[in-house]
Amino acid sequence: MYIQRQWRDRLYQEFARIGKCLSSPKRLELIDILSQGPKSVDQLSKMTGMSIANVSQHLQTLHESRLVRFQKKGNYVIYEIAEPAVADFMVSLHRFSEDQLVEIQRLKTEILQNYRDVEPIGFDALMERMDKGEVVLLDVRPEEEYRVGHIPGAISVPMEELEHHLSSLPSDKEMVAYCRGPYCFLSLQAVELLRSKGINASRLEEGVHEWKQYAASHAN
């Protein structure tokens, strides 16, 4: 019995390593960003507003828990998530947290109040309308994230380039924009811009990782 107790204590100590690693809001943000594709320490610093030293320290903690990995490219150190399961875990964490925590729901509602007319479209409706050729799906993330992975049929039009590509978009179809998932608002900004130019546009709330889970559940 004593041996079993020791074994269980050691087992849960290992589980707790992941929980302790994820107790930092900044480390959660870093994982979310890296789940979209590899990034240098400098890029992560600019995207999170943290100093390079702080980013490096957080990344070291994530690396010790085997949630991220890195490789050197010239003078740069490039980080990425250790495996796709890390991104799946984050999607599950987001959904569970939103279901359980009223404050997350409130914060989400707070930002969406600025975009009350932008109703999200679901995957089922999107796939049906894409099959009919009624909509064009726009991936408004940076192009390097699109290259890492995107929803099939989507075209890459980064948010900062969207206005310059308006003339090349078909005028007889609705545009559906998506970005990094439920807590990324680039797609909302894209819809707002498109509508201001007289283009019919909607938003897909989910991102690539949510799409992968949806596709897997509908594979059979």
The larger pLDDT score, comparing residue 122 to residue 5, is at: 122
Q: Is the pLDDT of residue 219 over 80?
A: no
Q: Which residues contact 175 (CB under 8 A, 6 or more apart)?
A: 135, 136, 138, 169, 190, 191, 194, 199, 200, 201, 202
> Could you tell me the two tokens for 162?
């969207």
> Would you say the CATH fold of 97-217 matches that of 2-87?
no
Q: Is the pLDDT of residue 7 over 80?
A: yes
Whether the CA torsion 6, 9, 12, 17 is positive or negative: it is: negative
pLDDT digits (tens, 9 = 90+) for 146-190: 999 999 999 999 999 999 999 899 888 999 999 999 999 899 999
| pLDDT recorded at residue 142 | 96
| pLDDT recorded at residue 118 | 81
Average of per-residue pLDDT values in the chain = 93
**Once rounded to an integer, what is the mean pLDDT over residues 43-49?**
96
Q: Write down the CATH number for the domain with range 2-87.
A: 1.10.10.10
How many of the other CB atoms lie within 10 Å of CB of 51? 10
Q: Is the pLDDT of residue 220 over 70?
A: no
E strands, the chain, in order: 39-40, 68-73, 76-81, 120-121, 135-139, 155-156, 174-178, 201-204
Q: Which residues contact 105 (CB under 8 A, 6 or more apart)?
A: 98
pLDDT digits (tens, 9 = 90+) for 102-145: 999 999 888 888 777 888 899 999 999 999 999 999 999 999 99
| pLDDT recorded at residue 113 | 82
| pLDDT recorded at residue 172 | 87
Domain residue limits, the chain = 2-87, 97-217
What SS3 class is residue 23? coil
Domain 97-217 coded CATH 3.60.21.10: no
Question: CA–CA separation, 174 vs 134, rounded Å?
Answer: 7
Question: CA–CA separation, 179 vs 28, rounded Å?
Answer: 18
Question: What pTM, to 2 d.p., does this model score?
Answer: 0.89
**Once rounded to an integer, what is the mean pLDDT over residues 55-82?**
95
Catalytic residues: 179
According to DSSP, the residues that pair with 73 across neighbouring strands are 76
The pLDDT confidence band at residue 34, using thresholds 50, 70 and 90, is very high
**Once rounded to an integer, what is the mean pLDDT over residues 26-36?**
97
